[in-house]
Amino acid sequence: MRVFQVQGARGVQLAASRPRALCFPASRLFVHCDRFPEEFSIIVTLRVLSVPAKRNEYVFTLMAEESPSVLVGLRYAPNKLHFLFWSQERAGGWQTRVTFPNVSLSDSQWHTLILAVSGQSFSLTVDCSVPKDVLVETPFPASLSVKRANFYLGNRRRRKGVFTGLLRQLVLLPGADATPRICTPMNFKVVTLSVPSVLQDLPAKPASNEVLRYPYETDTKVTLGSRPPCTTQEKAQFWFNASRRGLYLCNGSAWISMLEVKQRLDYVEEHQNLVTNSETMGVEVFTIPRVGLFAATANRYTPPGSAIYKWTDGKFVPYQNIPTYQAQSWKYFTIGKKIFLAVANFEQNDRGQELSVIYKWSRRKEKFVPYQRITTHSARDWEAFVIEGEAFLAVVNHREGNNHNIDSVIYRWNPRTGLFETNQTIPTSGAYDWEFFTIGPYSFLAVANTFNGTSTKIYSHIYIWLSGSFQLFQSILTFGAADWEVFRIGDRVFLAVANSHSYDSGMPAPSNFYAINSSIYELNVTAQMFVKFQDLLTYSALDWEFFSVGDDSFLVVANSFDGFTFSVNSIIYRYCCGRRARLGGCVVVPSRNSPAGSPARRQPLQMLVRVPKVER
């Protein structure tokens, strides 16, 4: 290849004599996942020479080693741009071509193209002008394998169709439409997103004082800057909020959103490695008003006990150390102006007492101090909640000695004594987790039962608050249930259970105790019960967490062991298109490598991941 500088910008011209030399394996890009993204953008900055009629030139292709078919490709013909992809919906598969007509690039000028792909929708933006949208019958495949495939630059593995122009940048960006990220600088034609160092030069100088012009014009006044007043004088005027990239219209009293960028999740990335005191069993993140953001880790060994970290300068730093005894979890809650943090201790203290402790935030000392000690039995979890203005605190007792069938306890706050007092006991079997939630005027409490002494195939129960106590509402068969997670999508209510393993002393051993379905249930209002919505294969799942970014809903599972290794992937699922939730692409959070006999979640090195918010 040769480097040329034209109009103040550098690009490479690819040699046509050895097209196979201009390739690299797809595994260099897709390190952790051998599937092409389901949603993505392709950004190309190029300078096209005059292309003869009936000639096609390939900007790039992705091809399997043993096949002449193009898996993914982009080619240019006179006044047309074609995007190619291989669909496997029918036996043997076939090539699909998406054509964008009236795309004229052969003017010896630099141009930046942004091709955004999402399902059946394909959008092409040239030099940040009005996008061309195409909707086709065949969607881009949701699971396109790139195993043993190679990327070819400027060709399709042969001399015919080699790109003869100059190429400045070629970027594959997984996720949402990249147009908002690109269309910000003044010179749109040579915008820089990922340009090789050899092509980085002085800023390109336009041939004239060019101004980006759309095919329509308007005299409407648009106000920029901070939020202006909206009165009858400003009625029918527009305001553009640059920070949120939103366009608003004044109706005479308030600004009405006309166009606003939505945020979505495309990937997660590692943010901080947090070295903890010892193996970490759980983490509780909370905010103390006017003090800051904190994270409490439940650590196994004493000494040194468990630690509380404070968010400082963009990361968590040690703040306070608290003596604990094989702590399993923390629970942060408030009662009025009082701030509490309860720890579930699994083992006895130095005096042989099995106590879990509630700590209270001291505003004078600016740290947590012991407030109340409660007798527990191998406590796993605390759950705090409020019903009809009264505060409750429920503890999960896992076992007493070798007896797993014991009572877990619900405590009620006594405002006169300022202490928690026993309100109700509920029989549980090796319980791991409480989950409190409300639906309309009704309050529910679900318990995850894990083991009854002989089997993990046992019922976990959902209780409803009636007449001053919790009463059985529904029983669901689970397999070593370790966690319940309730979440809502629109007006639908879901309940997910994390099944950890399948074991029954009276039954033949399965081929794998730990590769087992975890289930999601949905509330059927007519039947007044939760019904199964979906099964998802998990590997000794220990926890579910639900979150949303923009309009998208996600559910992440913490996998811990697949029967062979603790180094397993935990997966983020995205709820798709109003139908069943499914895995969108290969969005995974790899767990840390763990030595045999120690689950990944218990390592003294914890990984904090960041969720970038990509605008679309």
The per-residue pLDDT for 578 is 42
The per-residue pLDDT for 6 is 84
Confidence grade of residue 376 (pLDDT, cut at 50, 70, 90)? very high
280-288: strand order across its sheet: 280-288, 292-299, 306-312, 315-322
Rounded to whole angstroms, how far apart are CA atoms 247 and 226? 13
Residue 218 has pLDDT above 80, yes or no: no
Confidence grade of residue 281 (pLDDT, cut at 50, 70, 90)? very high
Confidence grade of residue 339 (pLDDT, cut at 50, 70, 90)? very high
Rounded to whole angstroms, how far apart are CA atoms 500 and 497? 10
Question: Tokens representing 357?
Answer: 């402790």
The per-residue pLDDT for 262 is 62
The per-residue pLDDT for 551 is 77
447, 433 contact by CB (below 8 A): yes
The per-residue pLDDT for 203 is 44
Please state the rounded mean pLDDT for residues 323-333. Answer: 97
Residue 97 Cα distances to 78, 86, 110, 145, 428, angstroms: 16, 9, 25, 19, 59
pTM flag (> 0.75): no
3-state secondary structure 92-138: CCEEEEEEEECCCCCCCCEEEEEEEEECCEEEEEECCCCCEEEECCC
The per-residue pLDDT for 582 is 44
212, 16 contact by CB (below 8 A): no
The per-residue pLDDT for 90 is 59
How buried is 165 (Cβ within 10 angstroms: 0-12 exposed, 13-18 middle, 19+ buried)?
A: buried
How far does CA 37 lie from the centroid of its chain? Answer: 15
Please state the rounded mean pLDDT for residues 276-299. Answer: 95
Pick the more confident residue, 329 or 181.
329
Confidence grade of residue 397 (pLDDT, cut at 50, 70, 90)? very high
Taking all residues of the chain, what is their mean pLDDT, rounded to a whole number? Answer: 85
Residue 602 has pLDDT above 80, yes or no: no
For the ranges 49-63, 158-172, 238-252, 395-409, the one whose mean pLDDT is highest: 395-409
Residue 159 has pLDDT above 60, yes or no: yes
Rounded to whole angstroms, how far apart are CA atoms 335 and 412? 12
How buried is 180 (Cβ within 10 angstroms: 0-12 exposed, 13-18 middle, 19+ buried)?
A: middle
Phi (first) and psi of residue 18, to 5 degrees: -130, 75
Pick the more confident residue, 2 or 479.
479
540, 432 contact by CB (below 8 A): no
Pick the more confident residue, 578 or 556.
556
The per-residue pLDDT for 223 is 80
Residue 177 has pLDDT above 80, yes or no: no
pLDDT tens digits, 234-267: 888 888 887 777 888 888 889 888 776 666 666 6
pLDDT tens digits, 135-144: 888 899 988 8
Residues 6+ apart with CB under 8 A from 25: 149, 150, 151
Pick the more confident residue, 150 or 51.
150
Please, what's the largest Cα pairwise distance for the chain? 90
Residue 74 has pLDDT above 60, yes or no: yes
Q: Which of 389-393, 445-449, 467-471, 602-606 has the lowest mean pLDDT?
A: 602-606
Residue 98 Cα distances to 12, 93, 139, 151, angstroms: 27, 16, 10, 20
pLDDT tens digits, 430-470: 999 999 999 999 999 999 999 999 999 999 999 999 999 99
